[in-house]
Amino acid sequence: TRDPGGANRIVALDPATGSEDTGRGFANETSKGGDGSSIGIITGLLGDYATGRIYATTRSGGSSATVWCVDVSGATAQLVWSAAVGDADAAPSLRSGVLYVGTLTGEVVALDADTGTVRWTYATGDGPVKAVVWPSFANADLYLATTNTLWALTDTGSSASLHWSVTAVPTPSSPLERLGSGRLLVGGGDGKLYELDAVTGTVQGSVAVASGQLGSPSYDSTSALALVGAEDGTVSAVSMSAGAAPVRGVHPLW
């Protein structure tokens, strides 16, 4: 829930009926391993089907914790761990047992998914981290956006190193890795969809699809379409059927 003035909770629903499953819900109750303090606004959830756990990001509330790990594999939810890493406004991401969180103070925090121990923190110094930190599954890189900058960080295990950072895209959206292509898709504040080389961060091309700010794109691999919404209320589909070719020259279909 997202109540700025009250105690928030993770609500569990039966997918068949929509009825609430109070046993698997969680509000930091002492009976479920919590300390009874209120949870701040819940901003994102990530489920790990392999472990039966839910990871939640929140604002701080009565509790200073802003990342939560809750086991929902049984009939009753149980808190596994919680950590105070600063307010976060987007869901965490998970790769190889490491949880990644972007904070409103511009930090990327890596936590051990089993214990909640902070492995490292990287300060961008460029405003809040926008949306989700995208972990590449091709290498150890992480892709993210802040107010004016796109970043690629490399997780070395004990720390993060800067792979590249670029400001070529005005007020960039959160980037999306187009799997298997070595490219990133990013929405710009100038109404253009950009394609960047994931290794170097260099812009490979762009196409104007709307006016004003674009949101974070998504990608339909079946039809090879990049889908992106804009501040002007439009949604565009951009053909990426040329594979790894630059987006320059493709066209909005809607």
Which pLDDT value is given to residue 242? 60
What DSSP state is assigned to residue 153? E
Residue from 220, 177, 224, 229 nearest 201 by CA: 177
**pLDDT recorded at residue 168:** 98
Q: Please report, for residues 77, 79, 154, the alpha-carbon distance to residue 74 in angstroms, rounded to integers and kept in the order given.
A: 7, 12, 36
Q: Which domains does the chain have, with CATH numbers?
A: 171-254 (2.40.10.480)
For residue 249, pLDDT beyond 60: no
- Write down the mean pLDDT value for the chain: 93
C-alpha–C-alpha distance, residues 62 and 234, integer Å: 40
The overall pTM is greater than 0.75: yes
